[in-house]
Amino acid sequence: MPSDRILIFDTTLRDGEQCPGAAMTPRQKLEVARQLARLGVDIIEAGFPIASQGDFDSVKEIARTVRGPVICGLARCVPADIDAAGAAVKPAGKKGRIHVFLGTSKIHREFKLGKARDEILRLATDGVRRACRFTSNVEFSPEDASRTEIDFLVEVVETAIGAGATTINLPDTTGYATPEEYGRMFAEVIARARGSENAVFSTHCHNDLGLAVANSLSGVQSGARQIECTLNGIGERAGNAALEEIVMALRTRQDVFSHLTTGIQTREIVRSSRLVSAACSFAIPRNKAIVGLNAFAHSSGIHQDGILKKRETYEIMDPEEVGWGKTELPLTKHSGRAAVASRLKHLGYLLKPAELQAVFSRFKDIGDRKKFVYDDDLVSLVGAQIQVARETYSLESLHVESGTGKKPMARIALKHGRKTLAATGSGDGTVDAVLKTIDRITGLRGHLMDYQVRAVTEGKDAVGEVSLSVRFDAKGEPAAGRAAATDVIESSGRAYLAATNRWIAEGGRASKKTRRTLGHP
Ligand code: KIV
Ligand code: ZN
């Protein structure tokens, strides 16, 4: 009989970060990993160490410094991958896990791998055995499990368990399964695979048909005891199953889910969700369940009346239970550095003195223009501040001129080392003029791929946050940037500079982080 405890395996830093535009810097990944530990996840999949030196270093640093959860590194069934993952998770000691995966479906065997079934079984055995040399905590995933012939899937799972895997993950890699099919696959594999009682079974669902959470819950009802998920549901293509939705579904519908529990500190959910959104410049849709701004907003008069009479008339969860509400007193321009530092600590940030100084100085700028600085404003400022390791260019001043029938002009001065570099330029709009003028100074030529602006809090003086991604190199992936200011033209310039700095900090290769081209065994 499986236990009632569901292990939450968070893959925000691996599958989540894999989605275009969500790339995080090592510093941001560390902040997210620390927050995941506070949130109470059981396992953090910290990255894919073979993918790049940056991924390797980042997994290793998380394994060295983050305490509580198991730290996991992903590897294909390839010796070099497994060795890299083993070395990266080593600092976590007994809390290090290697996750090896191998395509098993007919389409993956024939078209991607060009391997027959017996070769797949041999590779799975060799891969798991090699991983066991580094740690006894080995997870195996038959990739595209939900489209793998069931008899062969059972054989693969038996083989992996026989070779030493202690967790078996059955991914719905393409988001193709329906809840009924996905649950049936678990029931059948668990019933038929020899040794299944010695392994923890895990779900891993993608959201191509919007079924990722439903499928994960169905897997659990059929005996899975680990769920792989991401905050805000970020991930490849349409994303992965959203952690917050799974946890709150299990908790809210204890009657349906047979009193299954997780170790998640639900009051940390909103904070964690915002940290991830800030780190990867991915805005949370307003109507996103649990963490969207509208998730607990009742606009119709009938609903509001019902809520005032008895909250449960229209609310199935208490917003405070997931970390909404109880806003602290906002800070003002009179608040000192200690007050800002203490609020940042409360929000979960551990900043180095230089970072705190930079955030404090931006806080003062904003405090001069805005009566109250709210927690969300601070999260936005700090998120922008820690996104680059090195600021090659920083904004010294920005002036724009525009008006009906006038060509918009920008005059910008950037600090570059000890020098100040200035230029004037024009564009089709004010933002365009600003970005082109920055390019003129840096000598780069960025192509704007995505541009989003949102008001962080309410009111006409709200901080406007700009998230954008820029392609500096035709072959590469875009570099993301984000910034906040009370003036959206200034936020746009700062966000563009952040993307520029990021691209430069990564050696002008924001793209190549997405990665050496990974062949298959
Ligand atoms: O979706 C998938 O199959 C994966 C595997 C690496 C587990 O992400
Ligand atoms: Zn996946």
Q: Cα of 205 to ligand 2 centre, how many Å?
A: 7
- Measured by CA distance, the residue closest to atom 2 of ligand 1 is 173
Nearest CA, atom 4, ligand 1? 173
Determine phi and psi for 100, rounding to 5 degrees.
-105, 140
What SS3 state is found at 188? helix
Please give all residues whose beta carbon lies within 6 A of any atom in ligand 1, as ranges: 15, 101, 141, 143, 169, 171, 173, 204, 206
**Amino acid letter at 324?**
W
Atom of ligand 1 nearest to the CA of 101: 6
Q: Ligand 1 atom 3: the closest Cα is on which residue?
A: 173
- Ligand 1 pocket: which of 173, 202, 240 to mutate (most atoms within 8 A of CB): 173
Quote the pLDDT of residue 519: 59
**Domain range 394-505, its CATH number among 3.30.160.270, 3.30.70.330, 3.30.870.10, 3.40.309.10:** 3.30.160.270
235 CA from centroid of ligand 2 (Å): 7
Separation of CA 130 and ligand 2 centre (Å): 22
The two counts, helices (H) then strands (E), for the chain are: 16, 14
pLDDT score for 351: 85
Ligand nearest the Cα atom of residue 235: 2
Q: Which two tokens stand for residue 381?
A: 């400022």
Report pLDDT for 329.
66
- Ligand in closest contact with the CA of 145: 1
Residue located nearest, by CA, to atom 1 of ligand 1: 173
The helix (H) or strand (E) run that includes residue 289 is none
Q: Whose CA is nearest to atom 8 of ligand 1?
A: 15
In whole angstroms, how large is the CA radius of gyration of the chain? 24
Q: Distance, CA 341 to ligand 1 centroid (Å)? A: 39
Cβ atoms within 10 Å, residue 517: 6
- The CATH number of the domain covering residues in 7-280: 3.20.20.70
From the CA of 167, the nearest ligand is 1
Residues 6+ apart with CB under 8 A from 183: 218, 219, 221, 222
Contact of 55 with 25, CB cutoff 8 Å: no
pLDDT, tens digit only, all 521 positions of the chain: 567 999 999 999 999 998 877 788 888 899 999 999 999 999 999 999 999 999 999 999 999 999 999 999 999 999 999 999 999 999 999 999 999 999 999 999 999 999 999 999 999 999 999 999 999 999 999 999 999 999 999 999 999 999 999 999 999 999 999 999 999 999 999 999 999 999 999 999 999 999 999 999 999 999 999 999 999 999 989 999 999 999 999 999 999 998 899 999 999 999 999 899 888 878 888 899 999 988 887 666 777 778 788 888 888 999 999 998 755 567 888 888 888 888 888 777 778 888 899 889 889 988 888 778 888 788 878 877 776 657 899 999 999 999 998 999 999 999 999 999 999 999 999 999 999 999 999 999 999 988 988 877 767 777 788 888 899 988 777 888 888 888 999 999 999 998 898 888 877 754 444 445 565 55
Ligand index nearest the alpha carbon of residue 173: 1
C-alpha separations of 336 from 342, 343, 356, 358, 370 in Å: 10, 11, 12, 14, 16
Alpha-carbon distances, residue 434 vs 237, 381, 429, 494 (angstroms) = 32, 21, 9, 10
Pocket test for ligand 1, best of 101, 226, 236 (most atoms within 8 A of CB): 101
- Domain range summary for the chain, segments of one domain joined by +: 7-280, 298-325, 337-385, 394-505
Here the tokens at position 363 are 């806080």
Q: What is the pLDDT of residue 510?
A: 47
Pocket test of ligand 1: the residue of 12, 98, 143, 208 to mutate, having most ligand atoms within 8 Å of its CB, is 143
Contact 403, 421 (CB under 8 A): no
Ligand nearest to the CA of 72: 1
pLDDT computed for residue 387 by the predictor: 64
| Separation of alpha carbons 335 and 331, rounded Å | 6
Task: Using DSSP, state whether 417 is helix, strand or coil.
Answer: coil
Q: Tokens 């940030």, residue?
A: 349
Listed residue (321, 335, 352, 497) closest to 410, CA to CA: 497
Beta strand pairing call for 43-47 and 394-403: unpaired
Nearest CA to ligand 1 atom 5: 143
Question: How would DSSP label each residue in 179-209?
Answer: HHHHHHHHHHHHHHSTTGGGSEEEEEEB-TT
